[in-house]
Amino acid sequence: MRDAGVIKDEIAGLGLGTSGHVDHYNGRVITNSNLPGFTDYPIGERLESATNLPVSVDNDANAQAYAEYLFGSAKGYDNAVFVTVSTGIGAGIVIDGRLYRGVTGTAGEIGHTIVDPHSTVRCGCGNYGCLMSHASGLALPQVVRQKLRRPGVETIIDFTQLSDGEITGELIGRGFTQGDPLSREVIWEYGDYLGIGLQNLFQTLDPGVIVVGGGLSNWGEPYLDRIRSRFYQTAGTMLAHPLEIRRATLESNAAVIGAAALVLEPT
């Protein structure tokens, strides 16, 4: 703090956004598949005793949702949902200007809502047909390889030479730009599934705006347009107000701004 030229008395608190299931109320990380050592870990308490500052811990989707609400694409909307489509899929929900967390703090885990009960794709949670299994970065290698097994599939990318780790959103985005039919099919399909996911959110929460962020949102307007098209077609006349689907604006700094925004949340 001293090195950054900041006086401790001027610091309102410390915000931390992390992946995984987070118990915001007790400042605990419940589970985190990316950081195994942090299972049921009282990170808030540890940071408070190390810094002597009030600490607010939440999952990164909630932190980003609050940042988009305060400073980004959801500014001015007291009822908004932020959806991150990255390795996984999650959402942060703002209701009447406050983050909605549910009983344990894990509300918004829309990646595990089931969008296809007849699906043969099994999610890490054990269920079949989760949104995450059909529309996330994590699912890309499996989705692509399943399409490659179809006779007569057309692609300009030699996927057989690539490991699962190399089949990324970036690769598919590049393929789309170069006119690759398989990449286009993947992006359309991903857009359709997310559009259905957003329809489920709309029917449940009726927000004023839905903001889409995360790595796969870098597929840009063609992807966003496909999401919108499926969403508006599915919502149809049940949509009685001009709900907008926007891209996140704080993307590259969202995690940091989100963590800081948590401190500004009214208690």
Q: Which of 1, 6, 11, 125 binds Zn ion (CB under 5 A)?
A: 125
Asked if 64 and 254 count as a contact pair (C-beta separation under 8 A), the reply is: yes
User: How many residues bind to Zn ion according to rule CB under 5 A?
Assistant: 5
Least distance in angstroms from the C-beta of 106 to Zn ion: 13
Counting contacts by CB under 5 A, is residue 135 touching Zn ion?
no
Tell which phi-psi region holds residue 220, choosing left (phi > 0), alpha (psi between -120 and 50) or beta.
Answer: left
Write out the two tokens for 153: 């599939």
Q: Which of 123, 198, 212, 257 binds Zn ion (CB under 5 A)?
A: 123
Q: Pick between residue 12 and residue 125 the one whose CB is nearest to Zn ion.
A: 125
Least distance in angstroms from the C-beta of 123 to Zn ion: 3
Least distance in angstroms from the C-beta of 220 to Zn ion: 27
Least distance in angstroms from the C-beta of 112 to Zn ion: 4
Return the closest-CA partner of residue 178 out of 155, 194, 201.
Answer: 155
**Apex 130 CA angle, 128 and 134, nearest 5:** 105
Write out the two tokens for 193: 């599934």
Q: What is the pattern of x (binds Zn ion, CB under 5 A) and - over residues 202-241?
A: ----------------------------------------
Q: Pick between residue 51 and residue 127 the one whose CB is nearest to Zn ion.
A: 127
Least distance in angstroms from the C-beta of 216 to Zn ion: 17
Residue 39: phi, psi to the nearest 5?
-70, 130
Asked if 88 and 138 count as a contact pair (C-beta separation under 8 A), the reply is: yes
Q: Pick between residue 61 and residue 130 the one whose CB is nearest to Zn ion.
A: 130
Write out the two tokens for 233: 């077609």
Q: What is the pattern of x (binds Zn ion, CB under 5 A) and - over residues 98-117?
A: --------------x-----
Least distance in angstroms from the C-beta of 132 to Zn ion: 5
H-helix or E-strand containing 212? strand 209-213
Strand pairing partners for 91?
Answer: 83
Distance, CA of 166 to CA of 162 (rounded, Å)? 6
First-residue to last-residue Cα distance in the chain: 25
Q: Pick between residue 127 and residue 249 the one whose CB is nearest to Zn ion.
A: 127
Q: Pick between residue 128 and residue 159 the one whose CB is nearest to Zn ion.
A: 128
List contacts with Zn ion (CB under 5 A).
Answer: 112, 123, 125, 127, 130
